[in-house]
Amino acid sequence: MELLLYNSELRSFDGKDAPVISLSNRGFLYADGIFETIRVTRGVPLFLESHHQRMREGLKAHRIHPPLNFTPAEIRKDILRLLEAQGIEGSARIRMTLSRRSLGYYSPQENDLDVVMTAEPIATAEYTLNEKGLSVDIYPEMKCTPNHLTKFKNIASNIYIQSGLWAQENNLDTALIQNDRMGIIESTASNLFLVSNGVLYTPGLEGGATAGIMRTEVINIALKAGMKVYECNLTPQNLLIADEVFLSNAVQGLRWVGSYRTKRYFNATTQQLVRALNELVAAQFQA
């Protein structure tokens, strides 16, 4: 039986019970909200404080009011309760969908919060680097226009969905997304990093990139290792002269890119960062 939590209440969604959400749900009608994906390793939700902070900031930006008990401690309890109910004992991917609970049309009548939490198992306990490098290219059909909401994981995800479909149609592993100033800001489902001459580069949030949890961790790991890190505008020319390109997100960790058009990449620095990431995660269990 598939189970989820709806506002901390355990429900099944196997088609036998009443619908989890109503047809008046604003997430369904207007994509009015945000979502968060959290990796659980050996029963520990990783980087939960950072995820909670991003959710709080995203809800504030959307003018959605969370309840007083919307805390890391309560979220952790809900995650563990859902995993136990699902019988998931190892690693897992948690998705929290946070939408505005209200009647009304474009202008809502209220601004309270609805939360749907789902879980699915992950095969590996540690972050592992992909053996084969990903193939990527730049998605040409839509551009991101940066605003005060673009750094959050918004339910409205048309550009990411369409870029993913375009990548499939062109036999690519993923697509790179540009903003309306032609800067490359991220990929379909991950933040973007380049390594050139031992220096790490990543697009800045002001250009429209998502404020990724793993993005922040990678930057901190690199700085601690003595690498120079620059948040800046990236162009196709930067891709062509880079030594390495990799992608990051909280669930998958780091994935190295093997090719962009005719350009080929190495992954030595990416391997070092993955090792340091796993050491950081292991330290959470020793604390």
What percentage of the chain reaches a pLDDT higher than 70?
97
pLDDT tens-digit readout, 35-48: 999 999 999 999 99
Answer whether residue 24 shows pLDDT above 90: no
Cβ-proximal residues to 153 (8 Å cutoff; 6+ apart), any chain: 34, 35, 36, 37, 54, 58, 210
Which pLDDT value is given to residue 22? 78
pLDDT tens-digit readout, 213-264: 999 999 999 999 999 999 999 999 999 999 999 999 999 999 999 999 999 9
Q: How is 11-43 classified by DSSP, letter by letter?
A: EE-SSSS--SS-TT-HHHHH--EEEEEEEEETT
Which pLDDT value is given to residue 154? 98
pTM of the model: 0.94
d(CA 61, CA 272): 36
pLDDT tens-digit readout, 184-218: 999 999 999 999 999 999 999 999 999 999 999 99
Which pLDDT value is given to residue 1? 58
Answer whether residue 287 shows pLDDT above 80: no
Which pLDDT value is given to residue 12? 82
pLDDT tens-digit readout, 170-179: 999 999 999 9
Which pLDDT value is given to residue 140? 98
Query: Average pLDDT over the chain, rounded to whole?
Result: 95
Give the chain's domains with CATH numbers. Answer: 3-122 (3.30.470.10), 134-286 (3.20.10.10)
d(CA 184, CA 206): 12
Answer whether residue 13 shows pLDDT above 90: no
In this prediction, residue 18 has a pLDDT band, given cuts at 50, 70 and 90, of low
Ranges 107-111, 146-150, 260-264, 283-287: which has the least confidence = 283-287
Which pLDDT value is given to residue 285? 73
Read off the pLDDT of each residue in 76-100 and give the average, rounded to a whole number. 95
